[in-house]
């Protein structure tokens, strides 16, 4: 008998242990967006990691006109506030929501000075789905950083958070959170103080946290709350004449239950409290009172948290809770309600401010019916409830504030419109697939992909990038945290350098605008790219390019010298590439033909540049428009990859890397990318394969004038390569001057690049190795057989000594670490070379 009792007891203890362990399990929110706006890197704030806004695939930003980023200096309170996204037109963040239900929306603001805009007086209007969160709010009368917290019930798969600037002004935000809330945390109904009937359907309202206090205790920040809430200490609101004492116990002694967990409030909230002070004040009126300024036009959800950490035994305390002048709970007896000491309890009410005063007061005080004269309060939350217009700020509804195109009524036509668009796009792609080899012209993009665009600069250049198209779906920005953009040029300097954009100095025209040859005052020759403001595609490419180039420095990438953004111009200054694009040395001009060795060296250089793009940055960078006009040659015929206008970082972060528009140039386009719109480094590899064939055959990637089977160089050359007869179609200038083994290696390499499926294509590192090997075969053979002068066709000014990095026949092993690559990261090459030297290693 006794042992059975023991067993029951032991089981009960185990069960209790289990229960208490279970209630301490952490809540993991299904939706958990912590984003820092405009930043280019993760920011850790209060123990949590905020991710840059445009790096998340499940989040998109659509803005009516340009949005951009401003960054303050390090005097801001936290790095979370160091960048802001500024909107000069209506802009919406669209969050994909995995689980419907209540979500926190937290908005962080820091109207930092010197931002080029008066953020302090910028009226902020924010709409979340159908709720107005902020309406014409300014920070003018406030100081410091701001956190606004809202709870709204999201009932669809997306949440639209829209920022609406007023005329001629801007709106901004520094960081945003959208995080799931457990269903049990916020009530659907609560008792209204003026009537005994509960007010229901709170879940259909939006709530804004206006006060959340940890009575008698310290500030609790987001990292110490499983739901990321902030609990202020109460001393600011304590009515001065109140006599109050602080209480605290060990937080571990707080006993949670099934219905009251740490999601209700952290144990540190319950472990401290304020109680009535000593009875040196007249006992009956010695209420402890907190006073809160509130907007008298709104109702508030008031939640009072209790936990008896004061009493030594049960039933030792009975008191009243007052809200305004009403007794909210008479004779509150925690012992009866909880059955235990240190066991939390809370109660919700709905109230307004006390008549006309614009304040809401909460008090605890003794119950006159009993002669126990102490009272306690542990925590308090006051949340504003949205009004009938669905607003938490003013009387305008979301529909009134949103531009017509964004309000719900107009959504259906938009959806139909985009459906039609999608069908048209599919049809277009189908058409292109059938006719691709015949198509002559370059197809421009039809969609408006949300490219993650960031620019770098510094304070003096914090100017708005003018948006030219109102309908632009693009957002652009300047993030000024790291100013590695190189030299800043005044517009006057640019005018001087280009002789006022003299058309005789025009080097080329691209999607972004025009490129001029120029000379700086010190005589340095430069290429000046002048942004074409009429082209929104150009604008975006331009910004991508600044960002890419400013981060990337490599011997085989065209380097950025500086930029100018005065007078709303966007001008980039590059090193001048004396010998222009590779293509002009292959065909279509009268330039002397390149030797095989030169061609190999150029291909190797370009491959190195691409290899660096694919591997050196934290995330791989995909060029997306590899072609012979984007490989430029300097005065020493060193190849450098140019035009990052279509660059996009690789798929590491962005798992569902489906780009919304096929970009690139026909003839070079990876067929797999074209079909599946899935972008990988292997798309560049394919295009590079086309370049290799073009270099070998000296003909364009697409030659529509030729017989059908010859139009597309990739198909045409592949058919000959498969027959092992590539020499049949190669440049006639090369016939008889190429070592067959070298050509064989080259042909095999190009063939692998042009493989149908990305996974079958080699990496740029492998290609580099193979091309180096082809060069090696060429050089050793020509050394063996008393060669004809390979430089016969060279332009006389070429000095081979300056090709030293490639002239590696002497000391192969050193190539990898001879400082060719500024970053010293070319380990693939050096290991490749050791394999080359020791063939058994491969």
Ligand X SMILES: *[C@@H]1O[C@H](CO)[C@@H](O)[C@H](O)[C@H]1NC(C)=O
Detail the residues annotated as belonging to a binding site for ATP: 529
Should residue 533 be labelled a site residue for ligand X when binding is judged by CB under 6 A? no
Residue placing its CB nearer to ligand X in the complex, 224 or 742 = 224
Residue placing its CB nearer to ligand X in the complex, 219 or 426 = 219
Could you give the count of Cα atoms lying within 13 Å of 490 in the half-sphere of its Cβ? Answer: 4
Should residue 374 be labelled a site residue for ligand X when binding is judged by CB under 6 A? yes
Q: Mask 448-487, x = binds ligand X (CB under 6 A)?
A: ----------------------------------------
Residue placing its CB nearer to ligand X in the complex, 112 or 644 = 112
Contact between 443 and 466 (Cβ < 8 Å): no
CB burial readout 560-588, b (16+ within 10 A) else e: bbbbbbbeebbbbbbbbbebbbbbbbbbe
Between the alpha carbon of residue 15 and those of residues 1, 262, 283, 341, 760, the distances in Å are: 21, 19, 45, 20, 57
Closest approach, Cβ 502 to ligand X, in A, equals: 8
Q: Mask 574-613, x = binds ligand X (CB under 6 A)?
A: ----------------------------------------
Burial class (CB in 10 A: 0-12, 13-18, 19+), 260: buried
Closest approach, Cβ 411 to ligand X, in A, equals: 19
- Pick the closest to residue 374 from 291, 289, 310 (CA basis): 310
Should residue 195 be labelled a site residue for ligand X when binding is judged by CB under 6 A? yes
Helix (H, G, I), strand (E, B) or coil at 337: helix
Nearest-CB residue to ligand X? 203
Instruction: Select the span of 245-253, 473-481, 623-631, 777-785 touching ligand X (CB under 6 A).
Output: 245-253
Closest approach, Cβ 423 to ligand X, in A, equals: 33
Q: Mask 252-291, x = binds ligand X (CB under 6 A)?
A: ----------------x------xx-xx------------
Binding positions are: 529
Closest approach, Cβ 429 to ligand X, in A, equals: 32
Residue placing its CB nearer to ligand X in the complex, 189 or 629 = 189
Should residue 302 be labelled a site residue for ligand X when binding is judged by CB under 6 A? no
| Alpha-carbon gap, residue 288 to 763, rounded angstroms | 72
CB within 8 Å of 211: residues ≥ 6 apart: 232, 237, 292, 380, 381, 382
Closest approach, Cβ 159 to ligand X, in A, equals: 13
Pairing between β-strand 379-385 and β-strand 207-214 as defined by DSSP bridges: antiparallel
Structure tokens at 55: 């790096």
342-361 positions binding ligand X, by CB under 6 A: 352
Of 625, 670, 684, 821, which residue is the catalytic one? 625
Should residue 143 be labelled a site residue for ligand X when binding is judged by CB under 6 A? yes
13-72 positions binding ligand X, by CB under 6 A: 42, 47, 49, 51
Should residue 219 be labelled a site residue for ligand X when binding is judged by CB under 6 A? yes
Pairing between β-strand 513-519 and β-strand 487-488 as defined by DSSP bridges: unpaired
Whether 654 is a known active-site residue: answer no
Pairing between β-strand 207-214 and β-strand 232-233 as defined by DSSP bridges: parallel
Pick the binder of ligand X from 99, 158, 235, 799 (CB under 6 A).
Answer: 235
* Longest CA pairwise span in the chain (Å): 116
Should residue 341 be labelled a site residue for ligand X when binding is judged by CB under 6 A? no
Contact between 765 and 615 (Cβ < 8 Å): yes
Backbone angles phi, psi at 687, to 5 degrees: -60, -35
CB within 8 Å of 542: residues ≥ 6 apart: 512, 513, 529, 531, 570, 572, 645
Pairing between β-strand 32-36 and β-strand 48-52 as defined by DSSP bridges: parallel
The full length of the chain comes to: 842
Q: Which residues are catalytic?
A: 625
Q: Which residues bind ligand X (CB under 6 A)?
A: 42, 47, 49, 51, 73, 75, 101-102, 112-114, 123, 136, 138, 143, 153, 155, 166-167, 183, 188, 192, 194-195, 203-204, 216-220, 223-224, 233, 235-236, 245-247, 268, 275-276, 278-279, 299, 310, 352, 373-374, 496, 499, 521, 618
């Amino acid at each position: 008998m006794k042992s059975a009792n023991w067993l029951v007891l032991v089981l009960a203890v185990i069960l209790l242990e289990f229960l208490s362990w279970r209630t301490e399990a952490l809540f993991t929110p299904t939706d958990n967006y912590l984003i820092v706006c405009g930043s280019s890197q993760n920011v850790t704030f209060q123990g949590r990691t905020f991710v840059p806004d445009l790096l998340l695939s499940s989040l998109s930003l659509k803005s009516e006109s340009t949005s951009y980023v401003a960054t303050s200096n390090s005097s801001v309170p936290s790095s979370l506030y160091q960048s802001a996204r500024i909107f000069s037109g209506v802009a919406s963040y669209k969050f994909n929501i995995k689980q419907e239900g209540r979500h926190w929306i937290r908005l962080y603001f820091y109207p930092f000075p010197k931002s080029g805009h008066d953020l302090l007086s910028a009226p902020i209007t924010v709409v979340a789905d159908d709720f107005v969160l902020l309406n014409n709010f300014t920070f003018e009368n406030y100081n410091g950083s701001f956190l606004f917290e809202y709870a709204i019930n999201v009932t669809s798969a997306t949440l639209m958070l829209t920022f609406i600037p007023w005329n001629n002004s801007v709106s901004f935000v520094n960081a945003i959170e959208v995080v799931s809330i457990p269903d049990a945390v916020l009530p659907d109904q609560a008792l209204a103080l003026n009537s005994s009937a509960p007010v229901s359907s709170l879940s259909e309202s939006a709530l804004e946290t206006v006060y959340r206090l940890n009575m008698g205790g310290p500030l609790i920040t987001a990292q110490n709350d499983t739901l990321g809430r902030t609990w202020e200490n109460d001393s600011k609101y304590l009515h001065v004449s109140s006599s109050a004492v602080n209480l605290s116990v060990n937080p571990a002694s707080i006993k949670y239950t099934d219905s009251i967990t740490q999601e209700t409030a952290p144990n540190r909230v319950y472990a401290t409290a304020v109680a009535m002070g000593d009875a040196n004040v007249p006992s009956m009126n010695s209420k402890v009172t907190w006073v809160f300024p509130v907007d008298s036009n709104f109702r508030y959800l008031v939640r009072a948290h209790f936990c008896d950490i004061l009493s030594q035994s049960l039933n030792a305390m009975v008191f009243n809770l007052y809200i305004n002048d009403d007794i909210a709970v008479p004779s509150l007896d925690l012992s009866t309600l909880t059955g235990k000491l240190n066991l939390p309890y809370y109660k919700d009410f709905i109230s307004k401010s006390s008549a006309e005063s614009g304040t809401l007061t909460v008090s605890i005080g003794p119950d006159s019916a009993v002669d126990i004269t102490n009272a306690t309060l542990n925590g308090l939350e006051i949340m504003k409830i949205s009004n009938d217009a669905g607003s938490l700020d003013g009387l305008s509804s979301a529909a009134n504030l949103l531009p017509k195109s964004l309000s719900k009524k107009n959504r259906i036509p938009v959806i139909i419109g985009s459906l039609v668009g999608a069908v048209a796009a599919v049809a277009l792609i189908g058409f292109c697939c059938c006719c691709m080899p015949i198509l002559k012209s370059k197809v421009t993009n039809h969609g408006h992909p949300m490219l993650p665009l960031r620019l770098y600069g510094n304070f003096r250049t914090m100017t708005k990038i003018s948006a030219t198209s109102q309908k632009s779906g693009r957002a652009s920005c300047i993030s000024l945290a790291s100013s590695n953009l190189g030299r800043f040029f005044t517009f006057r300097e640019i005018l001087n350098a280009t002789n006022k954009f003299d058309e005789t100095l025009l080097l080329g025209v691209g999607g972004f605008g025009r490129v001029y040859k120029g000379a700086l005052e010190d005589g340095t020759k430069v290429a000046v790219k002048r942004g074409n403001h009429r082209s929104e595609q150009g604008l975006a490419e331009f910004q991508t390019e600044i960002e890419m180039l400013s981060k990337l420095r490599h011997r085989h990438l065209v380097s950025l010298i500086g930029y100018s953004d005065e007078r709303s111009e966007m001008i980039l200054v590059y090193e001048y590439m004396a010998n222009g694009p590779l293509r002009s040395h292959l065909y279509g001009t009268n330039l002397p033909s390149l030797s095989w060795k030169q061609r190999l060296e150029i291909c190797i250089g370009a491959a190195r540049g691409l290899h660096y793009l694919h591997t050196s940055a934290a995330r791989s960078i995909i060029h997306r428009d590899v072609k012979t006009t984007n490989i430029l040659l300097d005065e020493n015929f060193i190849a450098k990859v140019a035009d990052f206008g279509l660059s996009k970082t690789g798929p590491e972060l962005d798992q569902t890397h489906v780009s919304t528009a096929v970009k690139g140039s026909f003839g070079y386009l990876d067929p797999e990318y074209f079909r599946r719109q899935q972008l990988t480094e292997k798309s560049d590899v394919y295009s590079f394969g086309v370049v290799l064939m073009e270099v070998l055959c000296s003909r364009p990637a697409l030659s529509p004038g030729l017989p059908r089977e010859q139009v597309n160089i990739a198909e045409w050359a592949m058919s000959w390569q498969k027959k092992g007869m590539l020499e049949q179609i190669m440049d006639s200038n090369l016939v008889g001057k190429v070592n067959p083994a070298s050509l064989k290696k080259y042909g095999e390499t190009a063939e692998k690049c042009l493989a149908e499926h990305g996974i079958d294509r080699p990496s740029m590192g492998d290609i580099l190795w193979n091309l180096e090997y082809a060069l090696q075969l060429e050089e050793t053979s020509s050394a063996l057989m008393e060669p004809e002068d390979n430089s016969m066709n060279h332009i006389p000014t070429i000095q081979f000594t300056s090709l030293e990095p490639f002239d590696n026949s002497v000391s192969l092993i050193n190539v990898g670490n001879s400082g060719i690559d500024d970053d010293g990261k070319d380990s693939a090459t050096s290991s490749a070379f050791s394999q080359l030297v020791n063939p058994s290693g491969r």
